[in-house]
Structure 1
Amino acid sequence: MIEVLAKLGRGPVFLAGEVLECVITFTNPLSASSTSASSEMLAWASAQIHCQFHASENRVALPPSDGSKHDVQAENETVFVPNRGERGQCILSTPPKILFCDLRLDPGESKSYSYCETLPIDGPPSFRGQSVKYVYKLTIGCQRVNSPIKLLRVPFRVLVLHGLKDYQFPQDEAVAPSNPFLEEEEGLKKDCRLADLATELLMVATSRRSLHLYNISNTRGKVGTFCIFKTVYKIGEDVIGTFNFSDGDIPCLQFSVSLQTEESIQEEFQRRQGQPVSFSTHARHQESCLHTAQSSFSLPIPLSSTPGFTTNIVSLKWRLHFEFVTSGKSAGTCLVRGSQSEAVTWTGVEQMEVDTFSWDLPIKVLPTNPVLASYVSQFSNTNCITI
């Protein structure tokens, strides 16, 4: 018996273009003093990253796949197929890397191997939508002699930041401060610079403040104004906006604001012509606001959500969806006197005419620091199997 443990040192979330590093440890758990203790042998072990694409048959019409390619692998084969038994299509994979050949482990002995691979910068982000799914996994395959191949899958999340792909790092390193007493690998240095560049690009894009004022009105007149200071956010930030109903002609009884994503299939891949888009609500604020001069809301963008992106099959966009309920009468008729005694009591009417209307405001949502996103990830840093 051999235990195989895979650990992602930094966490299970990465930016496309970063280097994924995983330490894989093979252990013979039997104690040397055990009467049944004996050495264990493994013929080989390999590792490979792949991205699986799965589409809903009711929503997406994909072209027929090549029937000559099969994802199913017979158990007695010695060919390493990382997506064996997986649903959907493998749309992206890195070259497989051999960890070792002919490994012998004595009782209680362990050996560790480090797997490093740069994530493709032009791949799609991790996404689990109503129509399509993009799932990234690191698969480690190993085999005993005359035994079936065993696969250990390590799921992780990939965030894509547009602009990193076209950035050219300067060739002259003399301008960058360095420590001559530390030896730093070139790949690690570039990976750190990539993370620093991504942080800088995100900060520049999301820190800009500009007052945006919108008049809220329907066919009968002005209801109020809406104010928001920016329309570009990172996942994990709060979307904050304010309302001013004091300058409106039509009284607003109630409003709601929903933070939504819009998942749409490209026209050539739609199952039905004119197929409606799919909406998902991530946060919602609702408030009764009759005789309220000003109000505000704060909607958090979940760290686990997917930033906006576009591929040849699907696009994901973010928006604020507003719904307003206004009075069909003037503000003075919204209340009636309930008593004519010395102590006057005002009560609301039981029934009244209302008008409703909605409005959508597009916003842009970008990734965040992958270390921050790792804190709320559904994936574990460690995965293991016993063979």
Structure 2
Amino acid sequence: MIEVTAKLIKGPVYLAGEAVECYITFSNPQVSTHKRAQSNSDVFENLAWASVQIHCQCSTSSRVAYPSANSAYAAEEISTANTDTSFAPCRGERGHVVLSTKPKILFCDLRLSTGETKSYMYTEVLPSEAPPSYRGQAVKYSYKITIGTQRVNSLIKLLRVPLRVLVVSGFADASLCGDSEDLAPSNPFLEMQHKETPFDLAVQTLQNMTAKRSPNFYNVTNSGGKVARFCLFKQAYKLGEDIVGTFDFSDATVSCVQVLVILQSEEEIAPGCKRWAKQAPAVVSYNRFHEVCYSLKHTQLILPIPLHITPAFSTDLVMLKWRLHFEFVTSGGNEALPVPEADANGNVWQGPAALNIETMVWNLPIKICPTVPLQVSHGLQAQSKYRVTI
């Protein structure tokens, strides 16, 4: 019996373009000394080979017409059809392979005695053009590190280690200029400066995109006049941040009774992959903010962004966008609502039993970007160690 253990050094979440490091251990555990049927000689276990590979699987629903004829990995899927004699990392999984790294052989003919352990470090750089991990209504992208090993004259055993990949839009363009310093003439009298890694460039790109700039003001109106003035301090946010804004009802000509704000995603299938021409985007709601603003002059919006959602991205199959969905409940027409006043006798003010109301809807696009992978790993407490017994 051999135990195969895989542990992700930096956690299960990575940015596209970052190096994945996986510590893989093969061990022959000690046999219990209480068993009588045991010889004095060491018991050896043999493995013929072991190989590691990262692949991204794409599965679609009936709403998507997958362009299988244009798949760049169609030849690979055909070549790995015989799963009995070849290493097929996508064996038993539904969908299509959209990204696959070159397999790396860890060893050939490994022999372990009782209690012996062999460890290997697997390192692979995720391509910058890789799609992000995503579980949508019509399209799903999932990443796995697949470790395949085999005994002589036995079936291939697979250990799959799931990954979550985040994509920074604009990072691929920034990384193209990373070697510009190498073209400059060298000066032997200057100290060697630290060269920025692709991860440093990606984090810097995130900071630039989500930096707080000038606030944006929006006048919310309907047919009766001005409802509110909404202020949003920035348009781009990272995972785990709070969307902060303010509502100003002091100059409103239409009384607002309550306001509802919902964080929503829009999943739109590419025009060439739609089953029907008039196929509407799939809208999914997440966190929401609700405030009864009857007789209020000012109030604030605090809406947290979950860590498990997928930031905005676009591929040949699908486009994901984010928006704030507003629902303002206003008094019908220009009806003036009674204002609560303090009572000297200590009586509690009672609101009106019935109101003539109208509801208006407004959608404000925003941009959600990734964050540092370590923050997502710690926030979700994701598993990073897996084991299989052969």
Normalised by the length of structure 2, the TM-score is 0.89
Aligned partner of 1:386 among 362, 377, 389: 389
Q: Is the 8 A contact 1:42 1:144 kept in 2?
A: yes
Superposed displacement of residue 352, structure 1: 1.9
Aligned partner of 1:364 among 362, 367, 375: 367
Superposed displacement of residue 119, structure 1: 0.6
1:45 aligns to what SS in structure 2?
Answer: strand
Aligned partner of 1:51 among 43, 51, 56: 56
Superposed displacement of residue 177, structure 1: 5.9
Mean Cα displacement is larger for which, 372-381 or 221-230? 372-381
Structure 1 equivalent of residue 7 of structure 2: 7
Structure 2 equivalent of residue 123 of structure 1: 130
Superposed displacement of residue 376, structure 1: 3.0
Q: Is the 8 A contact 1:32 1:108 kept in 2?
A: no
Q: Is the 8 A contact 2:4 2:26 kept in 1?
A: yes
Q: Distance in 1 between matches of 2:61 and 2:353?
A: 47
Structure 1 equivalent of residue 323 of structure 2: 319
Q: Distance in 1 between matches of 2:348 and 2:2?
A: 80
Structure 2 equivalent of residue 158 of structure 1: 165
2:109 aligns to what SS in structure 1?
Answer: strand
Q: 1:54 to 1:379 in 2, by over 3 A?
A: farther
Q: 1:149 to 1:219 in 2, by over 3 A?
A: same
Code of the aligned partner of 1:353? N
Count, aligned residues: 373
1:90 aligns to what SS in structure 2?
Answer: strand
Q: Is the 8 A contact 2:295 2:340 kept in 1?
A: no
Superposed displacement of residue 283, structure 1: 0.9
Q: Distance in 2 between matches of 1:230 and 1:64?
A: 40
Q: Is the 8 A contact 1:265 1:277 kept in 2?
A: yes
Q: 1:342 to 1:161 in 2, by over 3 A?
A: closer
Q: Is the 8 A contact 2:52 2:145 kept in 1?
A: yes
Superposed displacement of residue 351, structure 1: 1.8
Aligned partner of 1:137 among 140, 144, 159: 144
Aligned partner of 2:230 among 226, 229, 232: 226
Deviations 1:217-262 (A, max 9, x none): 1011111100111101111111001000110001000100111111
Q: Is the 8 A contact 1:335 1:346 kept in 2?
A: no
Superposed displacement of residue 30, structure 1: 2.4
Q: Distance in 1 between matches of 2:122 and 2:105?
A: 9
Code of the aligned partner of 2:144? K
Superposed displacement of residue 118, structure 1: 0.9
Q: Distance in 1 between matches of 2:127 and 2:347?
A: 72
Q: Is the 8 A contact 2:80 2:87 kept in 1?
A: no
Code of the aligned partner of 2:283? F
Superposed displacement of residue 334, structure 1: 4.5
1:372 aligns to what SS in structure 2?
Answer: helix
Q: Does residue 47 of structure 2 align to residue 42 of structure 1?
A: yes
Alignment of 1:170-249 (within 5 A): 170=179, 172=181, 193-249=197-253
Structure 1 equivalent of residue 178 of structure 2: 169
Q: Distance in 1 between matches of 2:159 and 2:145?
A: 8
Mean Cα displacement is larger for which, 142-151 or 209-218? 209-218
Q: Distance in 2 between matches of 1:345 and 1:96?
A: 74
Q: Distance in 2 between matches of 1:157 and 1:30?
A: 35
Mean Cα displacement is larger for which, 317-326 or 346-355? 346-355
Q: Does residue 27 of structure 2 align to residue 27 of structure 1?
A: yes
Identity of aligned residues (%): 48
Q: Distance in 1 between matches of 2:325 and 2:60?
A: 27
- Could you tell me which runs of 5 or more consecutive residues in structure 2 were left unpaired when the two chains were aligned: none
Q: Distance in 2 between matches of 1:54 and 1:46?
A: 25
Q: Distance in 2 between matches of 1:224 and 1:366?
A: 28
Deviations 1:46-67 (A, max 9, x none): 000100000111x212235589
- Could you tell me which runs of 5 or more consecutive residues in structure 1 were left unpaired when the two chains were aligned: 180-188
Q: 1:141 to 1:304 in 2, by over 3 A?
A: same
Q: Distance in 1 between matches of 2:279 and 2:215?
A: 36
Q: Does residue 97 of structure 2 align to residue 90 of structure 1?
A: yes
Deviations 1:97-156 (A, max 9, x none): 100000000000000011111111111011111110010111000000000000000101
Q: Is the 8 A contact 2:2 2:26 kept in 1?
A: yes
Q: Is the 8 A contact 1:236 1:301 kept in 2?
A: yes
Q: Is the 8 A contact 1:71 1:85 kept in 2?
A: no
Q: Does residue 85 of structure 2 align to residue 81 of structure 1?
A: no
Q: Distance in 2 between matches of 1:178 and 1:109?
A: 44
2:58 aligns to what SS in structure 1?
Answer: strand
Superposed displacement of residue 332, structure 1: 3.7
Q: Distance in 1 between matches of 2:46 and 2:223?
A: 79
Q: Distance in 1 between matches of 2:332 and 2:152?
A: 80
Q: Distance in 2 between matches of 1:71 and 1:152?
A: 21
Mean Cα displacement is larger for which, 295-304 or 149-158? 295-304
Mean Cα displacement is larger for which, 112-121 or 97-106? 112-121
Q: Does residue 300 of structure 2 align to residue 296 of structure 1?
A: yes
Q: Is the 8 A contact 1:72 1:85 kept in 2?
A: no
Q: Is the 8 A contact 1:156 1:379 kept in 2?
A: no
Q: Is the 8 A contact 1:13 1:377 kept in 2?
A: no
Alignment of 1:247-326 (within 5 A): 247-326=251-330
